[in-house]
Every structure is written in C-alpha cells, then in structure tokens.
Structure 1
Amino acid sequence: MKGFIEFIREQGVMGLAVGFILGGSVKELVTSLVNDLVNPLVGIFLGRAGELKKIFLQIGPAKIMW
C-alpha cells in the first residue's frame, strides 16, 4: 500500500487513470484474442469447441485443470 500511495504522489491521478484505461483495454484485447482465435483453433484439435475447460493433466495424485 505504501508503494501505491507513493506512486500516486509522484505520478498524480492522471497516471493512475491512464493505467486503469490501458489495463482495461489490454484485458479486452486478450479476452477477444483467446475467444476468437485460440479457442477455435484448440477446438479443431479437440473435436469440439468449449471442451478445453474439461481437460486436465494428471501427475500422480495431482490434477491440473486448464
């Protein structure tokens, strides 16, 4: 929290606003790329789109969900 307050003092509210806007835009871009490009390509190899959530990697007793 101390670092955040120091950042606000140095950069001002404008820097914080720009950071939030860029963060939101990058999140939307990555979500769109995954939903529109990556998932359909993975769906081709899996046979059905949307089944990626059900895939897991079993290593001994541990189950790693995707």
Structure 2
Amino acid sequence: MIEDFKKFALKGNVLDLAIAVVIGAAFGKIITSLVNDIIMPVLGILLGGFSVEDWSYTFNGAVLRYGAFAQSIIDFTIIAFSIFMVIRLFTSMKRKKDVPAEEEPEVLDKKEELLLEIRDLLAKEKTGL
C-alpha cells in the first residue's frame, strides 16, 4: 500500500497540481493585496471616500454585511481576470514557439521553371478536353 501511495504521490500530475495550488495561493494573496491596498482605496477616493466593504443593513439586531460579499465578488472578478490574462500570455507564447519558422522560397533555375510551365499547360489541356 505504501509503494502504491509513493507511485501515486510522485506522479507528474500530482506534483504539478501541488505546485499549482501553492502558486495559486500566493497569487491569490498578491491579487487580494492589489485589490485591498491599491484598487479599492483609489476607487474610494474617486467615488467620494466610501468603502464597499462597510456596506451593511441592520434588521432586528442582525447585521447583513452585503458590502463584504460585494468585496469578495470584486476580488474574485479581478483574480479570475488576472489568471485569464496570465494563461492567455502563456498560450500566446507557446503558440509562437510551436509555429515553425517560414522556409525561404525555393529559387528555381530556368529548366525547372520551363518544366513547371509545361506541366501546367498539360494539366490545362487535359481538363479542357
């Protein structure tokens, strides 16, 4: 059982997933800091100094903090867009890498050009019959 677990845990996909989770968590912290420390304060200044996270509604002593929920939606949207842009960047870089370099056009000598013309004329005569 231990050997099976080692084989499973050391497969490339499992290790890739573990690395992705760790990097994703760190990336999430960076984006959360970007939203909380840069974007939202600037947005608050531009819109008159309010904070979305402070929005709330009190109903019979219960406080509904819908501003915190709205802040979470904003965080999610920015994180999703950031991940989309990073993946798009990597995909475009991979496409450029996968595209073979254009080959230089062949330079034909006179004999080859004449042979190609003869071939084209014969093909034209054959279809015209």
TM-score, normalized by length of structure 2? Answer: 0.31
Q: CA deviation at 1:36?
A: 0.0
Cα distance, 1:44 vs structure 2: 0.6
Relative to its length, the structure with more strand (as a share) is: 1
Which consecutive residues of structure 2, in runs of 5 or more, have no partner in the other structure? Answer: 1-10, 56-73, 75-129
State the Cα deviation string for residues 7-26 of structure 1 (Å, max 9, x = none): xxx62321111010011111
**Any idea what SS the aligned residue of 2:50 has?**
coil
Q: List 4+ stretches of structure 1 deviating above 4 A.
A: none
Tell me the percent identity: 33
Supply the RMSD in Å over aligned alpha carbons.
2.5
Q: CA deviation at 1:52?
A: 7.8
Which amino acid is 1:30 matched to?
A: I
Corresponding residue for residue 47 of structure 1? 48
Unaligned runs of 5+ in 1: 1-9, 55-65
The question of 1:27 aligning with 2:31 is answered no
TM-score, normalised relative to structure 1: 0.56
Structure label with greater radius of gyration: 2
3-state SS in 2 of match to 1:14:
helix
Which residue number corresponds to residue 16 of structure 2? 15
